[in-house]
């Protein structure tokens, strides 16, 4: 049986919950198609998060990896296109670190592309009436740090991987910060996994809007 590794992050930035962690926990042990899902939660800490991810990769030997993160302010499931080689923290991580303009990998390439079928995922979610979009930036905080490290770890391995940002949950939402129910976000990631397992070559459309 193939294995799918799904990771989320612990709460950060003063939030009491992180929907990405709750989704990973909800999917842990779930079977999607012929694949078993392994869910795990990473610390929101530069360096340590990547070390724990690499340990999970060694232990689980997945065929597919979806790392998830929370993006407050977004109103749709955001499938990330590219990870960039920089840590530039607007706020402190959970260990108090605020790296500024620091490369994630000295001498590493400027960026790595996701190897997920990103547009096919977005189309599948929209077909299910779930707001979704292709995102051109995963930011420069711990999410991008993990995304870049993931793709660097998967070089020359027959494993697809990438990163998806989810909005705040409805419990976190405010008048100016939209939210989405945990059930809908969990369903979205299930559909994203199924799409990855069923899609060998991504669809080609003119842009991320899919209109």
With contact defined as beta carbons under 8 Å apart, do 60 and 1 qualify?
A: no
Q: How many whole angstroms separate alpha carbon 64 and alpha carbon 41?
A: 16
> How many residues does the structure list for the chain?
211
DSSP 42: E
What per-residue confidence (pLDDT) applies to 187? 98
Pairing relation of β-strands 35-42 and 2-9? parallel
Q: How many whole angstroms separate alpha carbon 37 and alpha carbon 27?
A: 6
Pairing relation of β-strands 35-42 and 31-32? antiparallel
With a CB cutoff of 8 Å and minimum separation 6, the contacts of 183 are none
**Catalytic annotation present for 143:** yes
What per-residue confidence (pLDDT) applies to 207? 55
> What's the fold here for domain 2-198?
Aminopeptidase (3.40.630)
Q: Which of 44, 67, 143, 196 is catalytic?
A: 143
Q: How many whole angstroms separate alpha carbon 148 and alpha carbon 115?
A: 12
Q: Which of 165, 184, 190, 196 is catalytic?
A: 165
pTM exceeds 0.75 for this model = yes
Q: How many whole angstroms separate alpha carbon 209 and alpha carbon 164?
A: 16
**Catalytic annotation present for 198:** no
What per-residue confidence (pLDDT) applies to 174? 78
Residue-range domain boundaries for the chain? 2-198
Q: Which of 44, 67, 80, 133 is catalytic?
A: 80
**Catalytic annotation present for 80:** yes
**Tens-of-pLDDT digits for all 211 residues of the chain?**
799 999 999 999 999 999 999 999 999 999 999 999 999 999 999 999 999 999 999 999 999 999 999 999 899 999 999 999 999 999 999 999 999 999 999 999 999 999 999 999 999 999 999 999 999 999 999 999 999 999 999 999 999 999 999 999 988 877 678 889 999 999 999 999 999 999 999 999 865 454 4
With contact defined as beta carbons under 8 Å apart, do 182 and 68 qualify?
A: no
What per-residue confidence (pLDDT) applies to 211? 42
Q: How many whole angstroms separate alpha carbon 85 and alpha carbon 10?
A: 23
Q: How many whole angstroms separate alpha carbon 168 and alpha carbon 173?
A: 6
């Amino acid at each position: 049986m193939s294995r799918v590794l799904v990771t989320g992050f612990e709460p950060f930035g003063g939030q009491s919950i992180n929907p990405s962690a709750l989704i990973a926990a909800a999917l842990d042990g779930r079977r999607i198609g012929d694949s078993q899902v392994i869910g795990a939660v990473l610390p929101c800490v530069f360096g340590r998060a990547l070390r724990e991810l690499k340990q999970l990769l060694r232990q689980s030997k997945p065929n597919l990896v979806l790392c998830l993160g929370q993006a407050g302010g977004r109103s749709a499931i955001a499938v990330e296109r590219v990870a960039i080689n920089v840590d530039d923290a607007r706020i402190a991580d959970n260990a108090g670190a605020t790296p500024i303009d620091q490369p994630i990998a000295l001498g590493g390439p400027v960026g790595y592309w996701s190897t997920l079928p990103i547009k096919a995922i977005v189309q599948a979610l929209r077909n299910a009436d779930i707001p979704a979009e292709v995102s051109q930036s995963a930011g420069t905080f711990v999410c991008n740090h993990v995304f870049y490290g993931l793709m660097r770890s998967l070089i020359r391995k027959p494993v697809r991987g990438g990163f998806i940002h989810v909005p705040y949950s409805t419990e976190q939402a405010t008048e100016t910060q939209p939210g989405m129910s945990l059930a809908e976000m969990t369903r979205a990631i299930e559909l994203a996994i199924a799409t990855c397992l069923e899609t060998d070559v991504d669809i080609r459309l003119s842009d991320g809007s899919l209109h």
